[in-house]
Amino acid sequence: AKTTLSNKSREYYLQNIPTTDSMMTASNARIVDAYYNAAKVYYEKLADYDKAIKTFEELNTRFPQNVYLLHDYYSLYRINKQIENSQRAEYYKNMIISKFPESNYAKILTNPNYFAELNSQENQVNKLYEETYYEYEKSNYAKVIDNCIYATSNYNENKLLPKFLFLKAVSYGKTTG
């Protein structure tokens, strides 16, 4: 049975203080989450841009490797853009592009048409898959294999890739026995 400590005892106030590395890591993670959530509330719910900026920047100063760093930078970019502080907005834009060049945020900032191009590519892949499946149903396995090879070499990160690979494997099986 667990004994309840009196709030008049020293142990009562010391029981939740982190004393090991793992407890300290967990404590720091909770602090990071608290800063991040507070900054989001200031920005998104209360529209208190000054406090949002201050909270995001304090989070990044205290925990420069925090898990939200990329999102923090993007939020700071957006807030500064919104309050027309173009110098700070540009600073955070450059931080995103230099520290996270492969992120979607960096791609958006360097190419305003990024999402339109991504959507266009998605439509092309969907159309190609429909054509490939149609050819498969017509037992035109050579065309299916060609389309699948094209898809795997040109759209190698698409969510339809496993379906292309399956059609390719089945088509090879049908043509080679």
Which residues does 131 contact at the CB level (< 8 Å), separation at least 6?
Answer: 147
Q: Within 10 Å of residue 89's Cβ, how many Cβ atoms?
A: 18
Q: Look at the pTM and tell me if it is higher than 0.95.
A: no
Low-confidence ranges of the chain (pLDDT < 70): 1-3
CA distance 114 to 111: 5
pLDDT, position 34: 97
CA distance 126 to 120: 10
